[in-house]
């Protein structure tokens, strides 16, 4: 897929927060939410207008009025070309700073794209451990953004978050890799059944309605991450006892 490029026709208005420009798309597809580079600096494409109405995108050969973020807008000149930054082209520190602003879900990197990128680099054994840990924190944020964007079921979201936290815990240990007790508490908080209730339903799960079977399966997918954290919990801890109770139920679940 071609990388989008925009050529500036004119700067209509600008201030320290951004501005409005008329641009022509030279190639690719320009979409609201993309990030564009002008040299080493970055501009966010917040909104696109064509013929007096907002649109989600426009492609090569067409012009549009675009609303950009960033003080650099005031310095743009006629004929200057802005190039879309692909997901892998963002520096880690730029992504961390961007996430700290709680950007809109439609902004790029897209939640799903960012999650894939961050998980891959979190798992990248060619990177220094501290860098992998930072990517792990990005992966957690991206996973939560992806769940919000997709409107995921609470248990599905919990499974995906626990998978990232569990990986960090397994690779880097408690402390640097996270808090095993917090992982267990957060996961157990979204399970709406007791182990005894789940076991009772599991005994006749083939007779249950499909939505109920899916619910039990979601719980089952969450439990391995609790079991991974279990060795790091103190003996006699009520949290450890709760995890043990669910471990006994897990083989019964569909």
pLDDT in tens, 7-65: 999 999 999 889 999 999 998 899 888 889 887 788 889 999 999 899 999 999 999 99
pTM for the full predicted model: 0.76
| The predicted structure's pLDDT at residue 50 | 94
Using CA atoms, how far apart are residues 79 and 177, in angstroms rounded to an integer? 49
Beta strands in the chain (DSSP E): 5-15, 18-27, 29-31, 35-38, 41-50, 53-55, 57-59, 63-69, 81-84
- pLDDT tens-place string over residues 99-141: 998 888 877 778 888 898 899 999 998 999 999 999 999 999 9
Using CA atoms, how far apart are residues 230 and 223, in angstroms rounded to an integer? 11
Using CA atoms, how far apart are residues 20 and 127, in angstroms rounded to an integer? 40
- Closest by CA to 214, choosing from 153, 146, 142, is 153
pLDDT at 3 exceeding the cut of 80: no
The CA-atom distances, in angstroms, between 68 and each of 15, 20, 199 are 11, 6, 55
| The predicted structure's pLDDT at residue 1 | 44
> What is the rounded average pLDDT of the residues 225-250?
95
CATH superfamily, domain at 5-85? Translation factors (2.40.30.10)
- Evaluate the CA torsion angle 189, 190, 193, 195 in order and state its sign: negative
Using CA atoms, how far apart are residues 27 and 19, in angstroms rounded to an integer? 22
Query: How far does CA 74 lie from the centroid of its chain?
Result: 31
Domain ranges of the chain: 5-85, 90-151, 169-254
Percent over 70 (pLDDT), the chain? 99
| Cβ contact 105:145 at 8 Å | yes
> What is the rounded average pLDDT of the residues 162-172?
97
The CA-atom distances, in angstroms, between 43 and each of 65, 141, 202, 207, 242 are 15, 22, 53, 56, 49
| The predicted structure's pLDDT at residue 70 | 86
pLDDT at 71 exceeding the cut of 50: yes
Secondary structure percentages of the chain, helix, strand, coil, to 5: 50, 20, 25
| The predicted structure's pLDDT at residue 88 | 73
Using CA atoms, how far apart are residues 127 and 149, in angstroms rounded to an integer? 29
């Amino acid at each position: 897929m071609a990388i989008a490029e925009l050529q500036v026709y004119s700067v209509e208005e600008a201030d320290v927060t951004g501005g409005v420009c008329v641009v022509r798309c030279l190639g690719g597809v320009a979409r609201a939410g993309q990030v564009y580079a002008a040299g080493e600096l970055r501009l966010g494409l917040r909104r696109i207008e064509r013929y007096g109405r907002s649109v989600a995108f426009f492609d090569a050969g067409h012009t549009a009025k675009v609303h950009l973020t960033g003080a650099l807008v005031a310095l743009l000149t006629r004929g200057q070309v802005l190039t879309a930054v692909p997901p892998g082209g963002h520096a880690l520190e730029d992504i961390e700073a961007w996430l700290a602003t709680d950007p809109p879900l439609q902004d790029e990197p897209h939640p799903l794209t960012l999650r894939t990128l961050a998980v891959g680099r979190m798992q990248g054994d060619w990177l220094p451990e501290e860098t992998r840990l930072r990517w792990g924190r990005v992966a957690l944020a991206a996973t939560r953004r992806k769940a919000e964007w997709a409107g995921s079921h609470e248990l599905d979201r919990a499974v995906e978050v626990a998978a990232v936290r569990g990986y960090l815990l397994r690779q880097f240990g408690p402390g640097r890799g996270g808090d095993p007790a917090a992982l267990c508490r957060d996961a157990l908080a979204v399970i709406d059944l007791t182990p005894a209730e789940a076991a009772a339903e599991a005994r006749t799960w083939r007779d249950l309605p499909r939505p109920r079977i899916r619910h039990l399966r979601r719980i089952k997918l969450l439990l391995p991450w609790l079991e991974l954290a279990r060795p790091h919990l103190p003996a006699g801890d009520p949290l450890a006892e709760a995890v043990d109770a669910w471990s006994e139920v897990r083989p019964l679940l569909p």
